[in-house]
Structure 1
């Protein structure tokens, strides 16, 4: 296993330190000017516990495209998840961790031939399709592949609808495709769907699962014996959201339509795992005050334009590509009650680079910081250094309980962590020889569950079991 660079290691903090206090330490150093992230891997661990508690039958296969951070992948690998990969590069990234190819689904229904060849070479034999051409490609390149037919079933409300691009009509196209697959001798093993990323329509999962049942039954008339149901993605992950209603819908539908425990049920959550784990801090580097006439009173008022050091060509590409609703919070607490109509702009010379069109903020000063939560999904993988502005650095943190839980579970090890609660660790990434001494928690440790206030009591070895 490749040793991480010092700056990429997980900084272990005491349980009294949280994301916001870390941001205050970094910005208060006087050494930080660029935008930066703080990633709390404890948030990812808690999300995994929520998933396994709410949907114990559904094996998560993390959608790598959502956030392909090596640390994120290592943590999820240690927790025992599978992975949804969309390209040979993503496959390589997961396999490089020592993960077995059996834990990967190549969930891209339209794959370049070279990527199919790569899947064959690396032993990743589970992949999706939604068209006849794909079947012929697979027959020629990788005839032993286990194929999963992807059907279309769109949510009425979703952050990113996907049905326009992927998924065959389950009633008109799916039977034809299964007949073609049968004639080619292709091994189709199950059904997948994706209701849309960031789904806000829980009942659609029941409709999709029922439709999948119909496809299972039709496939049986052709001699197939499907054993895999892939529920796709669509699970919200921001602070304040919950998958409880979706989980209730899924669990009941599985009981009704797929009671056979031999059916392997998986899903492809992405934003659920990482959205709330990442918090972005940006500094105000320029300010423009604009006098505007109030249409009601006729008096002039001041609107403020704040220019920050990250924008839509960087982390906030999620506004354009992921339809994300951005909320800015001043790092400094204000005692006054006077707020001004304001807008927030990115650092580039493009007028498109606007982060927030209208927001009420207290009057900000040069060098003040704005904090943006829920920035872990579909941000950094798409960010670019346009105009020469750097992509924000990520500081990864965990409290000592999470460290105790993960430090010896493959592919993680002690070398992934920096012990010590000193701000210098986070500001500069240089001081790893901390002399701090702690009284380590006794096992079993407790991890608070976000969302319901409960407590999980787990021994480290009882959490995921051995991974060979």
Structure 2
């Protein structure tokens, strides 16, 4: 069974740096301890004064995901997309594992730099930036950014003339992606020559090409077409007599599980086919969900109950305006477990007790703040717990203070197994 460790010094020793704003650290006696073992331990140890909601960041998952990345995509440097989940402890762990960072704002850049990460490990991957934000990037030494318009070239020339540029292009749309980014970002192929010439005439160096195939359901075959399109841009720059490009940014869209294996196969084969003769090519990717989604588990407490015939209605202390905003999307599949707190804590499953169609509401006065509808749950009482798995991607980062509720899980516990190695050689 896991043992709680609360001393800040032990947190500092494990991470190798200070400043991680985590609630507590949980070390496990064995890597076999489940996340539910850890949550039970937290509730048992800290009940009834425990703050809720809370989440657990399982660093064992992050470490394993990094190992799989380096195995499947050994030539692709990961630049974690901070927007997916900016939890400072997650960022710190990824930094120690050798990840680099994709930032879209000064706030994200500042968070990464606060960990002692070199600005050379950051790409400012926002194609449209405020002038003040460009000036900030220049002041802290973040010297690589994306662009896709002539107007952006003009701003960068004025405020950060030493910045290297990566041209964001628009790949062919994949209608299977729940979130296609081509509507907002990416130059069309016929716009590329004008953009390259504008940058060259401004005295700015275009060092590479980036794209994003879309998130949540995009076909992994889309990487092939996008990489071929990027190769075309490399050739266009060469024909224009511009300095040789060196960066191929294949963007994000990566998810945990078997689709990552499929994506890796397509990416590796496409790079080999289209860029085999490109010496000194640097390939980077921008995974977000891949690292964050399965690493976080959310625990919420039942704070209210109503019975209407067979229907059970419950209120919990987190909701769609907090950590559970992702449940409003059709692609997200809820994985929910229940814990009953009484004379002893037990995991109550639908297999071992009668269940009822249940509706679960968040804490706000918004009637759309509904987490579950007609969901089969066992009978729950006040102060029982609902635990949601896979709650790391676009959860806390989208949380609000609507109705005055700071409802997203600010209290983050960290699970870490002492038989795993957190620090690896920096691959920046």
TM class, shorter-length: 0.7 to 0.9
Count matched residues: 397
Name the SS for the 1:158 alignment partner.
coil
Counterpart of 2:129 in structure 1 is: 111
Deviation at 1:17, TM superposition (A): 2.8
Counterpart of 1:172 in structure 2 is: 190
Alpha-carbon distance between aligned partners in 2 of 1:149 and 1:6, rounded to the nearest angstrom: 35
- The counterpart of 2:336, out of the listed 328, 348, 360, is 328
Deviations along 1:2-25, one digit per CA (max 9) or x if unpaired, are: 734795453322115321011112
- The counterpart of 1:42, out of the listed 22, 46, 60, is 60
Alpha-carbon distance between aligned partners in 1 of 2:356 and 2:215, rounded to the nearest angstrom: 34
Counterpart of 1:10 in structure 2 is: 25
CA 322–359 in structure 1, closer or farther in 2 if over 3 Å, else same? closer
Counterpart of 1:219 in structure 2 is: 237
Deviations along 1:42-72, one digit per CA (max 9) or x if unpaired, are: 1101100000000001000011111111111
Alpha-carbon distance between aligned partners in 2 of 1:464 and 1:159, rounded to the nearest angstrom: 36
Alpha-carbon distance between aligned partners in 1 of 2:181 and 2:110, rounded to the nearest angstrom: 25
Alpha-carbon distance between aligned partners in 2 of 1:118 and 1:152, rounded to the nearest angstrom: 27
The 5 Å alignment of 1:247-396 reads: 247-259=264-276, 260-291=278-309, 302-320=310-328, 324-331=332-339, 332-334=347-349, 336=352, 338-390=354-406, 391-392=408-409, 393-396=411-414
Counterpart of 2:84 in structure 1 is: 66
- The counterpart of 1:121, out of the listed 139, 142, 147, is 139
Counterpart of 1:455 in structure 2 is: none
Q: TM-score, normalised by structure 2?
A: 0.87
Deviation at 1:466, TM superposition (A): 9.1
Counterpart of 2:4 in structure 1 is: none
Q: TM-score, normalised by structure 1?
A: 0.80
Counterpart of 2:156 in structure 1 is: 138
CA 306–101 in structure 1, closer or farther in 2 if over 3 Å, else same? same
The CA RMSD measured in Å over matched residues stands at 2.2
Deviations along 1:415-447, one digit per CA (max 9) or x if unpaired, are: xxxxxxxxxxxxxxxxxxxxxxxxxxxxxxxxx
Whether the 8 Å CA contact 1:35–1:281 is kept in 2: the answer is yes
The 5 Å alignment of 1:75-94 reads: 75-94=93-112
Name the SS for the 1:366 alignment partner.
coil
Name the SS for the 2:168 alignment partner.
strand
- The counterpart of 1:98, out of the listed 110, 116, 120, is 116
Name the SS for the 2:419 alignment partner.
helix
Give yes or no for the alignment of 1:400 onto 2:418.
yes
329-338 vs 186-195, which moves further: 329-338
Deviation at 1:321, TM superposition (A): 7.7
Alpha-carbon distance between aligned partners in 2 of 1:33 and 1:67, rounded to the nearest angstrom: 21
Alpha-carbon distance between aligned partners in 2 of 1:368 and 1:159, rounded to the nearest angstrom: 34
Whether the 8 Å CA contact 1:33–1:283 is kept in 2: the answer is no
Counterpart of 1:195 in structure 2 is: 213
- The counterpart of 2:170, out of the listed 152, 164, 171, is 152
Alpha-carbon distance between aligned partners in 2 of 1:321 and 1:230, rounded to the nearest angstrom: 28
Deviation at 1:340, TM superposition (A): 2.2
